[in-house]
Amino acid sequence: MHEMSVALAVVDQVAEAAGRAGDVTAVRSVRLQVGELAGVVPDALAFCFELVCAGTVLEGAELVTEAVPGRARCTPCAHEWAVGMPPRLTCPVCDGTGTELLAGRELQIVDVHWVDGGSPPAPAREPIPEER
Amino acid sequence: MCRVVDLRRAVLAKNDASAHDLRAHLAGRGTAVVNLLSSPGSGKTALLERELLRARERSVPVAALSADLATENDAARLARSGVPVKQVLTDGLCHLEAGMLAGHLDGWLPDGTRLLFVENVGNLVCPASYDLGETLRVTLASVTEGEDKPLKYPTAFGLAHLVVVTKTDIAQAVEFDEDAFRANVEQVNPGVEVILTSARRGRGVGALLDRALAAADGAPVHEPVMARSHPHHGHTHAQPEAADAMAHTHP
Ligand SMILES: Nc1nc2c(ncn2[C@@H]2O[C@H](COP(=O)(O)OP(=O)(O)OP(=O)(O)O)[C@@H](O)[C@H]2O)c(=O)[nH]1
Ligand SMILES: [Mg+2]
Ligand SMILES: [Zn+2]
Ligand SMILES: [Zn+2]
């Protein structure tokens, strides 16, 4: 089950970024984009994530996964479609094979919500409200 | 203070970077990697035994590395061909990663090796996500596995440069429907070549070696639709050093 390796890669990268920032005391959540064609099962990933976070600065962090549907476009006829699962990557209109995958292979860390010891900068503008 | 920090990093960025480095390093040594993926027991080792012998007959310098969860049986079989062979035990890890492969090649891969065949762990899910720095990725399926295998494992078949059907000597007995299989491959990987082989009877033996040599010599390799993706999300490879600059803060 490579969700364990994927979870480790997520935790490593976040821990590294937190280490670089220097004064991170806790990580609340990590937001991931997981494409329909990324070959990763979000539930299995969430399970592994919890295990891998234990004993790190990410202990107790929540994994928020955003599913990205697979979309494709036919270069010759410009038709765009949802590829579905199992994916159809030949054009449903002209049967062409000059397909471009627009989305669906994402496996990416979007952002991280963490707590650090820094003091808030002087607000130059309205603070951005917390997401979610 | 709480911050939401934009990281914008591909989760497997480290593997991708190691694969990139390994590919460049091996290219400098004149070696191309062929990554073989299939379910357990599809016949990777059996076909490879034949291809390694063929390479020897043709005086092509090749080597093989076989990854297995626990046993050394495959390497023992492959070594009978007389080419350099290495067994890697993954200790339960279900796939190879580029950094691991690089570590195993260090100090072992003989100079002058033209092709390095890597038999990945028998598994159609996990190995598909990890680039090993290969020049040719080959996904195999035996005739006994059902024609819908490519639809059940779309990333394994969708990212292949070449698809190999194995054990065609028993195709009739299991009523393998070649047309249905080809149609399913085409659905997830339009335009990819499918070759039919039987290690038992010798059918199609040598085709894998030919394709691998052509790729190693720089002939254009099939570009799967799935590998041609252009996510709209931008700055995938943004450096984390930039993270703080992009932090949204809130008290
Ligand atoms: N009839 C027939 N049987 C084959 C052929 N190739 C392999 N086999 C049999 O299929 C079984 C598995 O073959 P292997 O070559 O060990 O398969 P593998 O993909 O290397 O297996 P793992 O490394 O365990 O994933 C063995 O019993 C082989 O004898 C073939 O061309 N025809
Ligand atoms: Mg084997
Ligand atoms: Zn796995
Ligand atoms: Zn079209």
Q: Which amino acid is at A30?
A: V
Q: Which residues form the domain of B117?
A: 12-220
Nearest to B4 by CA among A25, A42, A16, A129: A129
Q: How far is CA A96 from the centre of its chain?
A: 31
Tens digit of pLDDT per residue, chain B (251 long)?
A: 888 999 899 999 999 999 999 999 999 999 999 999 999 999 999 999 999 999 999 999 999 999 998 889 999 999 999 999 999 998 888 899 999 999 999 999 999 999 999 999 999 999 999 999 999 999 999 999 999 999 999 999 999 999 999 999 999 999 999 999 999 999 999 999 999 999 999 999 999 999 999 999 999 999 999 998 654 443 333 344 334 434 444 44
Residue B179 lies in a domain: yes
CA–CA separation, B62 vs B56, rounded Å?
8
Number of domains in chain A: 2
Residue B243 lies in a domain: no
pLDDT of residue B251: 42
Count CB-CB contacts under 10 A for residue A125: 5
Number of domains in chain B: 1
Nearest to B223 by CA among B184, B190, B180, B181: B190
Within this chain, do residues A28 and A59 fall inside the same structural domain, yes or no?
yes
pLDDT of residue B244: 41
> B155 and A114 in contact by Cβ < 8 A?
no
* pLDDT tens-digit series, residues B37-84: 999 999 999 999 999 999 999 999 999 999 998 889 999 999 999 999
The domain that holds A5 is classified in CATH as 3.30.2320.50
pLDDT of residue B238: 38
**Separation in Å, CA of B22 to nearest CA in chain A:** 19
> A111 and B226 in contact by Cβ < 8 A?
no
Residue B22 lies in a domain: yes
Average pLDDT over residues A51-62: 96
Instruction: Give distance in angstroms: CA of A96 to centre of ligand 3.
Output: 34
Q: Is the CB of B199 under 6 A from ligand 1?
A: yes
CA–CA separation, B115 vs B104, rounded Å?
16
Within this chain, do residues A78 and A114 fall inside the same structural domain, yes or no?
no
Residue numbers in B near A118 (CB within 8 A): 1, 3
Within this chain, do residues A37 and A77 fall inside the same structural domain, yes or no?
no
* ipTM of the complex model: 0.84
Residue B6 lies in a domain: no
Residue B242 lies in a domain: no
The domain that holds B45 is classified in CATH as 3.40.50.300
Task: Kindly provide the b/e burial profile for residues B65-99, where b requires at least 16 CB atoms within 10 angstroms of the residue's own CB.
Answer: bbbbeeeeebbebbbebebbbbbbebeebbbbbbb
- Strand stretches in A20-125, DSSP E: 24-35, 62-68, 71-74, 80-82, 99-103, 107-116
Q: Is the CB of B50 under 6 A from ligand 1?
A: no
Q: Which residues form the domain of A85?
A: 70-103
Within this chain, do residues A59 and A76 fall inside the same structural domain, yes or no?
no
pLDDT of residue B90: 87
